[in-house]
Amino acid sequence: AQKITQTQPGMFVQEKEAVTLDCTYDTSDPSYGLFWYKQPSSGEMIFLIYQGSYDQQNATEGRYSLNFQKARKSANLVISASQLGDSAMYFCAMTIIQGAQKLVFGQGTRLTINP
């Protein structure tokens, strides 16, 4: 079974600073995908970034990058130059390639950007 752990319930960061949100995962399957989603206070789930288990390079999407350390089973999200609009819940999730591709989510981290 897959498991995702996010150990930071809340993070407070000054605007324009970089922030790292931690995520560790556990699976015995060699083929898997890791995702980060953002949930603002309005409630919708917004996809941010994806990392495949066989990807050689860390994923990047604009201000978002994923620090993927396969041996440590970690997939931390890095947000550069944080903005007030980045304040939200952030969820790390994974799915395995074989079988039904359900997402298994971590507990989430509430990020607050201070002006």
Interface residues toward another protein, by CB under 8 A: 33, 35, 37, 39, 43-45, 47, 50, 52, 89, 91, 93, 95, 97, 100-105, 107-108
Q: How far is the CB of 28 from another protein (least distance, A)?
A: 17
Q: Please, which residues bridge with residue 34 across strands? A: 51, 94
| Between 39 and 58, CB nearer to another protein | 39
Q: How far is the CB of 18 from another protein (least distance, A)?
A: 24
Nearest partner of 82 among 9, 12, 24, 7, judged by Cα = 12
| Between 59 and 113, CB nearer to another protein | 59
Residue type, 81: A
Q: DSSP string of 72-86?
A: TTEEEEEE-S--GGG
Q: If you ran DSSP here, which 8-state letter would residue 53 be given? A: T
